[in-house]
Chain A
Amino acid sequence: MGAILMGGFPILSAMLLVPLVAGIACFFLEAHAARLTALAATLANLALGIVLWANYDIGGAQWQFVEQAPLFAGFNYALGIDGIALMLIMLSVFLMPICILASWEAISKRVGEYMAAFLIMEVLMIGVFAAQDLFLFYIFFEAGLIPMYLIIGVWGGDNRIYASYKFFLYTLLGSVLMLIAMFWMVNEAGTSDIPTLMQYDFPAAAQTWLWLAFFASFAVKMPMWPVHTWLPDAHVQAPTAGSVILAGVLLKLGGYGFIRFSLPMFPEASAQFAWLVFGLSMIAVIYTSLVALVQHDMKKLIAYSSVAHMAIVTAGLFAFNVQGLEGAMMVMLGHGLVSGALFLCVGVIYDRLHTREIDRYGGLSINMPKYALFFMLFSMASVGLPGTSNFIGEFLALAGVYKVSTTVTLVLTTGIILGAAYMLYLYRRVAFGVQKNADAAAMTDLNAREWAMLAPIAAAVLWMGVYPESFLAPMRADIAALEVRLARAAPAGDSMLEIGTPSGTNANAMPELEHDNTGEGAH
C-alpha cells in the first residue's frame, strides 16, 4: 500500500535532501535567518516523517520505500526501511526541531555553522537508519563524527577540547575494525546488500571474529561499560541540544547496529557472546547507577543514567526472544525521548543560572511550578513508572531476559531500583526543599518556546506509555522474523518456564459456597 500511495516518490532521499540543502544554506546565512531556515527544514522533515509513517504498510513487505541508484563504484546507493528503522527515523525527525528550538537563544556565536552542523547531523542519522548497503551504512555511521566533533568542540563548555578529542578518537577506533570485518563479509557473501546479508549464513568460526569487530564499534557507540567513559565527558561539554541529539539518537546507533547486524548476521556468535553482553550489562547497570547517585553535575548524572538504560537494552537484545527484542526497541525509543527531555530540562535552568551544579538549585517547584511538573514527569518516566514510555520497554526487556536467566534479571531489576533512587534524589534536591539560593529562587517559569519544546515530548512519553501498540505494531513482523532467524542459536534459559493448564474457572471466581452458614464464625 505504501509504495502505491507514494507513487514512486523517493521520500527517503527527500528526507536526506531537505536538511542537506538547508544545512548548506545555513552556512551562508545570518544568525536569525539560519535559525528560521533550520527550524523550517526540520519541521518539513518531521512532516515528511509523518507522511512516511502514515504510508508505512504494517504487515506488508519487510522492506518498504526501497530506492536504488548505481551511483558509486564498489557499493550502491540503496535506501529502504523496515519497522525498526521507521521508528528510529521518527525519533530523529521528532527530536530535531526541538533541538533547534533549544538552541534558539542559548547559541549566540557562529549560529549559521551551528545550525548547519545540526542539519547535516540529521541527514546522517536518517541515512544510517535508511541505508540498505553495508558501506553506505558505514559512511553515514562514521560521518556523524565530524558534525558532532564540531558541535562539542566549538559550542561546548570549558573542557570541550578534551571531550571532543575523546569522543572522536574513541568512536573512530571502535569503528575502523568494523570496516575490515565488512570487507571480509562482502568478499565472502559477494554482495553488500544488507537484506541479503541478514539471511546469509557465515561460517561459525568466522562469525566469532566478525562479531567482535562489530561489537568493538557498537559497544563504544552504545556505550557499554567499560568503554562508556567518553559519554559523560561529551555530554557535559556539549551544548544542550548536542546532548539531546547525542542521548536521543546517537546512542541508538549502537543498539540499531546490534539488532540490524550482529544478531541477524551472526546468530551463533551472538549466542556465544551473550554471556559477555549480559555480564557487561549487569556491571553497567549497577556500577553506573551508583556513580550517578553521587554526581554533583546534573548532566553527568543523566549521562550515567543513560549508560544504565542502554545496558538494559543490550541485555534485552541478547535475550533472543520477542519480549527482549521488543523491550529493547521500546527502551531505546523511550529513552530517546526521556533522556532528551531531561537534558532539555537541565538546559532550561542552565540558560537561566549558567551552572549545572545540583547544589546551586533547590525549591524550584515554588517559583517554577510548571517546570517542576515537566521535570517530575520525565524523572518518573526515567524511573520507569507505569503509564510512561520507559515502563513498557523495561518491563518487556526484563520479561525477555527472565526467560533466559533469572540471575541477570535480578541484577538488572536492582539497577532499576537504584535508578529510582538517583532520579528521585536528583528531583528532591532540585525541585523540593527550601529555596536556599536567592538567584535560583528568582528564576522565571517556562516561556512559550520552552513549552513548545517540552510539551510534545511529554505527550509522546504518555502516548507510548498508555498505548504502546502504535509503536509496537510496525516493528512486530520484523522482530518476529528476527526471532525466527535467531531460533537456531537461542540459549536454553534457566527459568524453566512451563505453561500450565488453565484451571477452567476464573482466578477470582467465587468458590461454590454451600448455603448453610454453619461454618460461619467457627474460625
Chain B
Amino acid sequence: MFRRAQHLRDEARYKRAALVVEDALLQDPTSVVGHLLAASLHMVLRETGQARASFERVLALEPTQPRALLGLARVALEEGDAAACLELLTRALTRYPDFQEARALLEVARGLVATADAKRTVASNGAIHADRLRLPAESLEALFMRADATVLFAEPHGPRTNAVAGSAVKLATVATAMLAGAGLGPLRHAVIEGVADTTYLRADDAALLTVSFDRDLKSATAVEHLKRVWDRCRSEFA
C-alpha cells in the first residue's frame, strides 16, 4: 500500500496518496517509510502541524532519520524558530555530512540566528516622517529596515510592523541563498505579485526596502518609484 501511495504521490495526486498512507499506517503503525511519506504529503498539502507530528513519529522510531530531521527543520524555519532549525540541521549533518539539502538550509538558519542576535544589540533610531522620504502617492505600504530587521521607517506603522519587517528579512535571506544556489549572485531586488497588489523589494548588505502598490500600476513606474525612495532612504540613514 505504501508503494501505491508513493506512486500516487509521484503523479501529484497528493490527497488520494494521503488517504492510502493513512489506511496503511493503521495496519502498520511503526512503519518509518509510512510516517515519512505521510509527513511529506502533509507538507505538500500545506498541513504543517500534521507534518510536524508525522516527522516526530519518524524520529521516535529512528532518531537520526535524515529526511525527518530536515523536514522538522523546515517546519521550524516556517514557524520562525531559526535556532531550532539550526539545531535539527546540525544533528542531520553530524550523522550525514554529505546531506546537500540540509547544508543549503544550514546557511540560511545560521544567517537568521545571527540576524536575531545582532538585533538585540542594535537600538532602533525611531521612525521619520513620510514627507521627508516623499513616498509616491500610489504607495500602499512602505517599510525600510536594517538588514537585522530593525525598522527605520514604516508607512503605515502598526502593531504588526515589526513582524512584517522580520518576514521581509527572512524572505530576503532565503532568496539570497536561493540565488546563490542557482549561481546568480546576491539579491538586489524582487517583485512579489499578489492578488490585489504587488510588492517591490530593494536590498543591499546593510538595508532592505519594501514598497507595495496596486497591481495595476505599471511595473516600470513602480520600479522608478522604488529606486527614488531607496536613494532617499539610503541618504537619510547614511
Q: Do A and B form a real pair? A: no
* Residues of B in contact with A (beta carbons under 8 Å apart): none
